Amino acid sequence: MDEISTWILEFVLRQDIPSALLRRLVLLLLPSPSPSPSPSPRLTKTLLLRHLLSLLPKLSTETLDSIELLQTLAPNPNPDLLRSAYLHAAVGATFSSPNFPGAVEDIWTGRVGCLLKSSGASKDALASEELSEWRRRMEAASSRDEAMKEGWDAQGAVDAVAAYARAEFEAMGPTFLEAAAEYLRVLGESTSGAAERQRKGKMMAAGSSRAGSKRRKKKNGVNAKRVCNPILTPEVQKVREALIRSSKALQSVVEDPLPRAKEIADGLMARKSGAGIHVEEPRENSDQSEENRNMVDKSAQAHPADNAPDGIHTEGRCKHPNDATKASLMDRNPTAQTYEWDDDSIDFSSEDGTGQSKKLHLPTQRTKPSSPLKVLEVNQKVKLARGRKRRRWTVLEEDTLREAVNTYGRGKWKKILTSYHEIFEERTEVDLKDKWRNMTR
């Protein structure tokens, strides 16, 4: 995984992502050497902390595993909170286990026993007087009630773990992307050098040290340019490229609003025109365009959360599985120009101060084909031109597919697709089958 994916993953992990997805990411990235080099310590830590929090109302041995792993990651800015979290998690896990003697054996004789015996880093980080005290108490007790009678605050234990995780996040500071965004915002507000240097320092603290030194080297050559156009700093360029490149990965997290909007629009169309839907291919504009706008507005109202912030775009994928044959208003218009996030079509620069900006201008509507023959020809062209954009399979998708084939069996592609549709977004059952064929060759 490269540095840029790391920034983005870290950012994504700090967001509110579905717990199922988080779990998968944990399984994918954590158990140390998965495919290639393990992720950066910072990312690993983020992942572990998120995992820890996601387990939370419950305390289990999984909680303990997470904390033990976290303990191995330097630096450890909150040693007291870490010890406290471990203690509370251990006690909590013991009490919430259905098998009290078994849990004591596993947690207190096993884990804690080893921990207290061994000397060195892990002992320093996790062991405490209180922990050995609890160990004595647990091993002496013959039942859960007996162990608990000296007082135990279950909610307090959960709070202790949460407090530790929050403190760690706090100590880590904002994610690299957030810091970069903040830096640029401030840079845009004031061109004062002092402020710039201050923010810069803050940002560097957030990023990995490797990233920092790399960029510092680059900085000098482009300084003149960035003063007059803060949007063009190498940092933005880099982040922008990263966002584009990673949009594929993000697609499994961020829903593309377009298919949904189209669905709604089609629904409205169907209701409006009764049974038959026929829209002339090259549409006469003016009178219908008003209606068209309304429909878009309505769909926007129905899904306010889908409005992505400016600059973060998912690709405009218009095709909807069931609509391949229907020509609808929302389908890609062959005569219109769309702005796509293709890697090589990105050019935000307007270096020439001539004010002659490169505006997109939509060509005026072509005259509609006169003969039926021509209509056919145009339709064919549309069909040919409408191949899906190639999208590489993510590791998450591959993993999910493997797991799904294990549970449902090879050949149950439709079933697999529907039960994991949130992960196989925009894939068809045929894609799954093809992918499986590729994977097993």
Q: Cα dihedral sign for 283, 289, 291, 296? A: positive
| Residue 427 within binding range of DNA, rule CB under 7 A | yes
Q: Do the beta carbons of residue 5 and residue 249 sit within 8 Å?
A: yes
| Residue 178 within binding range of DNA, rule CB under 7 A | no
- Report how far residue 150's alpha carbon sits from residue 137's, in angstroms, rounded to the nearest whole number: 9
| Residue 441 within binding range of DNA, rule CB under 7 A | yes
- Report how far residue 186's alpha carbon sits from residue 162's, in angstroms, rounded to the nearest whole number: 32
Contacts of 222 (CB under 8 A, 6+ apart): 233, 234
Taking the complex as a whole, the smallest distance from the CB of residue 259 to DNA amounts, in Å, to: 15
- Helices within 251-323 (DSSP H only): 257-272, 286-302
> What does 28-96 look like in DSSP terms, one character per residue?
HH-SS-SSSSPPPHHHHHHHHHHHHHHTTTS--HHHHHHHHHHHTSS--S-HHHHHHHHHHHHHHHHHH
Count of all residues that appear for the chain in the document = 441
Q: Which stretch binds DNA (CB under 7 A): 126-134, 168-176, 189-197, 383-391?
A: 383-391
| Residue 429 within binding range of DNA, rule CB under 7 A | yes
Q: Which stretch binds DNA (CB under 7 A): 160-168, 205-213, 351-359, 407-415?
A: 407-415
Task: Between 205 and 439, name the residue whose CB sits nearer to DNA.
Answer: 439
3-class DSSP state of 209 = helix
Choose which of 303, 381, 389, 402 interacts with DNA (CB under 7 A): 389
Q: Which stretch binds DNA (CB under 7 A): 9-17, 182-190, 272-280, 425-433?
A: 425-433
Nearest residue to 88 via CA among 174, 155, 176, 4: 155
| Residue 424 within binding range of DNA, rule CB under 7 A | no
Taking the complex as a whole, the smallest distance from the CB of residue 380 to DNA amounts, in Å, to: 10
| Residue 431 within binding range of DNA, rule CB under 7 A | yes
| Residue 392 within binding range of DNA, rule CB under 7 A | yes
- Cα 295 from chain centroid? 30
| Residue 279 within binding range of DNA, rule CB under 7 A | no
Task: Between 176 and 413, name the residue whose CB sits nearer to DNA.
Answer: 413
Taking the complex as a whole, the smallest distance from the CB of residue 176 to DNA amounts, in Å, to: 24
Task: Between 374 and 421, name the residue whose CB sits nearer to DNA.
Answer: 421
Choose which of 240, 369, 415, 425 interacts with DNA (CB under 7 A): 415
| Residue 434 within binding range of DNA, rule CB under 7 A | yes
Could you tell me how many residues of this chain bind DNA (CB under 7 A)?
Answer: 23
Residues that bind DNA (CB under 7 A): 387-393, 410-415, 427-431, 433-435, 438, 441
